[in-house]
């Protein structure tokens, strides 16, 4: 982690870049982790609540992605951005542990998103091979194409079941907390 925060009286001054942030330009706030004490490792990383309108906060251009067009992604840049000290989220130095615990559960939504994209690809491929003709017959009639579609469907179903299982296990963990 290269972003840094340095205490300056009643503020923390942030410098660095936060990469691949979903909805960065449409959200009013974001949570930013930055190193305040490199000698403390993960315990030297607090989280800050940063407002989009804060001085020294800017955005790179929209990332060009192959899919997930409804999820705008940007890099956020912090250049001597003063953040009030009372905007530390939770206890100072606990951000890394909180982030990892959060990621354990939210990664499953990324898997579900990938499933939707893969299902869309399979649906389109199936539609296409039924309509595209070669040598006087639909491409779907060729055994090699059928094998490829069957393989895609099998792998997609395996991924779907793994994602469902992960979601069930995550829910069980949350209920114990």
Q: Which CATH superfamily is domain 4-89 in?
A: Butyryl-CoA Dehydrogenase, subunit A, domain 2 (2.40.110.10)
Note the pLDDT of residue 175.
82
pLDDT in tens, 101-116: 888 888 999 999 999 9
pLDDT, averaged across the chain: 92
* Low pLDDT (below 70) residues in the chain: 177
Question: Nearest Cα to 166, choosing from 119, 111, 120, 84?
Answer: 111
Note the pLDDT of residue 105.
81
Note the pLDDT of residue 177.
67
The Cα 108–Cα 22 span in angstroms is 16
Q: Strands 47-51, 88-89: parallel, antiparallel or unpaired by DSSP?
A: antiparallel
The Cα 168–Cα 137 span in angstroms is 44
The proportion of the chain whose per-residue pLDDT surpasses 90, expressed as a percent, equals 67
Give 16-19 contacts, CB < 8 A, sequence gap 24+.
Answer: 16/77, 16/78, 17/75, 17/76, 17/77, 17/78, 18/75, 18/76, 18/78, 19/75
* Greatest C-alpha distance within the chain: 78
Fold for the domain defined by 95-176: Butyryl-CoA Dehydrogenase, subunit A; domain 3 (1.20.140)
Sequence ranges of the domains in the chain: 4-89, 95-176
**Distance linking the first and last C-alpha atoms of the chain:** 29
């Amino acid at each position: 982690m290269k972003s840094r925060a340095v205490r300056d009286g009643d503020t923390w001054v942030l410098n660095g870049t936060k990469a691949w942030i979903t909805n960065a330009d449409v959200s009013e706030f974001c949570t930013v982790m930055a190193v305040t004490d490199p000698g403390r490792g993960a315990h030297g990383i607090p989280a800050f609540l940063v407002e989009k309108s804060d001085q020294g906060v800017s955005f790179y251009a929209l990332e060009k992605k192959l899919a997930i067009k409804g999820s705008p992604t940007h890099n956020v840049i912090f250049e001597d951005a003063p953040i009030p000290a009372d905007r530390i989220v939770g206890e100072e130095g606990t951000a890394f542990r909180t982030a990892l615990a959060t990621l354990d559960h939210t990664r499953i939504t990324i898997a579900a998103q990938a499933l939707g994209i893969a299902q869309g690809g399979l649906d389109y491929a199936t539609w296409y091979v039924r309509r595209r003709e070669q040598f006087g017959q639909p491409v779907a009639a060729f055994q090699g194409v059928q094998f490829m579609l069957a393989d895609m469907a099998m792998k997609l179903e395996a991924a779907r079941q793994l994602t469902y299982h992960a979601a069930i296990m995550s829910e069980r963990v949350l209920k114990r907390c």
